[in-house]
Amino acid sequence: MKSGGTAHRGFGYSDHSRKQNFFTFLSMTKKQVIEFSRYPISFVAEFSQVLLIVGMFMFAAIIFIGEGGAGLPRIAGIMMYGFVLNMFLIFVLWEIGFSVREEQYRGTLESLYLSPVNKFSNLTSRIFAIVVWTVGMVGIALVVVNYYVGGLPAENVLLALFLLFFSITGILGMGFMAASLILRLKESANLLLNVLQFFFMIFCAMFFPFSALPPEILNTVTRWIPLSYGVDSFRSVLVGQSPELMALEWEIVVVVLFGILSPIVGYYLYRRGERKARLKGTLGEY
Amino acid sequence: MGTAIAGLGLYKKTPRTSFGVFASVLKARLIIISRYKGSLIMELFMPIVFAALPIMLGVSLASGGTPVAENWKISSGTADFRAFMLIGACTFSVVSLMTWLVGFWVRREMVTGTLESVWVTPAKKYLVIGGVTGYALIRAFTAFIISFLIGSLIFGVNPFQGNILIAVLFIMIGLLPLWGISFMFGALILKVKEANSLINMLQWVLAFFMGVYFPVTVLPGFLRYVALSFPPTWMTNGVRASLLEVGYFFEHWYIDLAIIFVFAAVVPLLGYMVFMRTEKRLKKNQGMGLY
């Protein structure tokens, strides 16, 4: 039933049309942006932090290669392109996972769930602003490093953007899965997110080539994580080298499948986790 | 015991009661953290992950034929870049824990609404803060030792090389200026309140200038002087020089240690002064407990 005299069963006056879903998404995004805008210091601090981390790695890489050593742009490319995906992963994991936790903390999660709005729009709106912000941040970091090393390699930018898009949607799915766990873990969420962040940082070889990982780890852990193929293919097509894990065509297939399936599976798991929490009555519990 | 000290209720300021305040705060913090075993384990592995990232890069470059160890020796004085990174990451973890634990204690008390109550108890504030920083010292030092040993095992570093006694001395004395820095972080949190990202950023500023991943001597002129004005830079280099023989800033260990002594005498006093001034200003305005 459309909005009018009679309410939609269970949804109050909400009509759940595409228009309403879009406006839910828009309103929640606006709320996030307003919240961010109240902490301008955080913006500056986060950006400076990114540059400092990149700077530390760059100094180490320069010493490794040696005075006048060749190949700095390539090494910088390997680090920076892995770093791009790492940034998206960290921000999505923390933002989706933690914003759900924050709503629990403030005591507003239950009220939001009682409102007759689309849950998916509610969840995705939490990361839209942060994804846009991350794009800006990594963009500037890339420009700075590009200038510093005298040109980062950028071979097949279009294909790289295509791979980046599907890697990000895949990461979103991982964010949904993390959020479902956080609903259950509550105060241990911090720990979980830290563990996940470091796990992927090391086992998806985000700051170094995959060849640095011992073959046992490469075969038993790394090759089983779809995101590894996202890192490998994105980095390879930009640096202009052969992928390390498997042939590029197959890596593209894995990344596209990851980008499509991960949000579906992730959202399904989130809804399951949320349903369990509602049945137990622990959704809004701190 | 009949008459109370004016303004202090039944609290009587004796060395025993003063120690009691310090010990109670310390004990309370240790009990609370003992309930979060996962966080403690995570804390031990954090420096290992930080060290692993550049080490892996070095390893992969070396396997590709780049003379990584030789290049590292030219810039830092040691070819053992694994040990260099591990020491850097472990000392950074100490700095990070010290600043974060004290700063976060202030914030946590604010959020839970107990800061004002703690402040109106007749106990001396420096004893309360002393208890918190003492707890941070114990936690940071223990984390350093365990992380360093585990990291050494993982990266194939000999943890017992060089002069361990001098290294321990550098850490112990180096922790004292950190005490002062953590007071300053506490003051910043009192003022800014929602300062998590600011503290995070400042920690990375410290990480950059203390040379976690590289010797500060490779920094350009002005930045090198900035780095040398940070006490953690001296602590990190002191530990590295005593274990890996990378060279002290002033050639001899005792001169570098003397510099840290000066920092240890000045920075905690400065930090405490900043903290108390901030607190006084806040009390005159909106109060301490405002979330």
How confident is the model at residue A161, as a pLDDT?
95
**Binary contact (B201, A208; C-beta < 8 A):** no
Residue B6 has pLDDT above 50, yes or no: no
Q: Please give the residue that has the higher pLDDT: either B109 or A146.
A: A146
Residue of A49, A64, A213 with shortest CB distance to B66: A64
Residue B215 has pLDDT above 50, yes or no: yes
How confident is the model at residue A196, as a pLDDT?
86
**Phi, psi values for residue B289, rounded to 5°:** -90, 0
B2 lies in a domain?
no
Q: What is the mean pLDDT of residues A223-240?
A: 95
Give contacts of A48 with chain B, Cβ < 8 Å: 201, 204-205
How distant is the Cα of B75 from the closest Cα of chain A, in angstroms?
7
How distant is the Cα of A255 from the closest Cα of chain B, in angstroms?
24
**Binary contact (B56, A61; C-beta < 8 A):** no
How confident is the model at residue A188, as a pLDDT?
67
ipTM value of the model?
0.83
Rounded Cα gap, residues B151 and B83, in angstroms:
9
At position B29, the amino acid (one-letter code) is R
Are A266 and A176 contacting, i.e. CB atoms less than 8 angstroms apart?
Answer: yes
How confident is the model at residue A3, as a pLDDT?
44
Categorize the per-residue pLDDT at A284 as very low, low, confident or very high, splitting at 50, 70 and 90: low
B65 reaches A (C-beta below 8 A): no
Give contacts of B214 with chain A, Cβ < 8 Å: 56, 59-60, 63
**Binary contact (B66, A213; C-beta < 8 A):** no
Rounded Cα gap, residues A256 and A269, in angstroms:
20
What would the pLDDT profile of A249-277 be if each residue is shown by its tens digit?
999 999 999 999 999 999 899 889 888 88
Comparing CA positions, the residue from A64, A75, A70, A60 lying closest to residue B71 is: A64
Q: What is the mean pLDDT of residues A238-243?
A: 92
Q: Is B122 exposed, middle or buried (0-12, 13-18, 19+ CB in 10 A)?
A: middle
Categorize the per-residue pLDDT at A9 as very low, low, confident or very high, splitting at 50, 70 and 90: very low
Q: What is the mean pLDDT of residues B32-41?
A: 84
How confident is the model at residue B9, as a pLDDT?
56
**Helix axes of B15-34 and B37-63: crossing angle, nearest 10 degrees:** 70
Categorize the per-residue pLDDT at A85 as very low, low, confident or very high, splitting at 50, 70 and 90: very high
**Binary contact (A202, B53; C-beta < 8 A):** yes
Categorize the per-residue pLDDT at B287 as very low, low, confident or very high, splitting at 50, 70 and 90: low
Give contacts of A63 with chain B, Cβ < 8 Å: 71-72, 75-76, 214, 218
Q: What is the mean pLDDT of residues B254-258?
A: 95
B111 reaches A (C-beta below 8 A): no
In B, minimum Cα distance to A67 occurs at B71
B291 lies in a domain?
no
Q: What is the mean pLDDT of chain A?
A: 84
**Binary contact (B72, A202; C-beta < 8 A):** no
Q: What is the mean pLDDT of residues A6-31?
A: 68
Residue A220 has pLDDT above 80, yes or no: yes
In B, minimum Cα distance to A64 occurs at B68
**Binary contact (B76, A69; C-beta < 8 A):** no
Helix (H, G, I), strand (E, B) or coil at A8: strand
Are B220 and B194 contacting, i.e. CB atoms less than 8 angstroms apart?
Answer: no
How confident is the model at residue B11, as a pLDDT?
64
Residue A2 has pLDDT above 60, yes or no: no
Instruction: Give the structural domain span for B125.
Output: 15-284
Give contacts of B85 with chain A, Cβ < 8 Å: 60
What would the pLDDT profile of B144-184 be if each residue is shown by its tens digit?
999 999 999 999 999 888 899 999 999 989 988 988 888 88
How distant is the Cα of A110 from the closest Cα of chain B, in angstroms?
21
Comparing CA positions, the residue from B107, B277, B126 lying closest to residue B192 is: B107
What would the pLDDT profile of A29-84 be if each residue is shown by its tens digit?
888 788 777 777 777 787 888 888 888 888 899 899 887 767 888 889 999 999 99
Q: How many CB atoms lie within 10 A of CB A207?
A: 23
**Binary contact (A207, B81; C-beta < 8 A):** no
How confident is the model at residue B289, as a pLDDT?
62
Residue B7 has pLDDT above 60, yes or no: no
B227 lies in a domain?
yes
Q: Number of structural domains, chain B?
A: 1
B290 lies in a domain?
no
Cα–Cα distance list, A60 to A138, A212, B67, B155, B204 (Å): 20, 16, 14, 17, 15
Secondary structure string (H, E, C) spanning A66-103: CCCCCCHHHHHHHHHHHHHHHHHHHHHHHHHHHHHHHH
Q: What is the mean pLDDT of residues A96-114?
A: 75
Contacts of A260 (CB under 8 A, 6+ apart): A166, A169
Residue A182 has pLDDT above 70, yes or no: yes
Q: Please give the residue that has the higher pLDDT: either B108 or B194.
A: B108
Q: What is the mean pLDDT of residues B113-131?
A: 82
Give contacts of A44 with chain B, Cβ < 8 Å: 201
For the ranges A127-131, B272-276, B282-286, which has the lowest average pLDDT? Answer: B282-286
B56 lies in a domain?
yes
- CA A128 remoteness from chain centre: 11
**Binary contact (A66, B70; C-beta < 8 A):** yes
What would the pLDDT profile of B72-113 be if each residue is shown by its tens digit?
999 888 999 999 999 999 999 988 888 888 877 887 787 777
Q: What is the mean pLDDT of residues B242-256?
A: 91
How distant is the Cα of A9 from the closest Cα of chain B, in angstroms?
40
Give contacts of A212 with chain B, Cβ < 8 Å: 56-57, 59-60, 63
For residue A131, is it left (φ>0), alpha (ψ between -120 and 50) or beta? alpha
Residue A283 has pLDDT above 60, yes or no: yes
Give contacts of B49 with chain A, Cβ < 8 Å: 198, 201-202
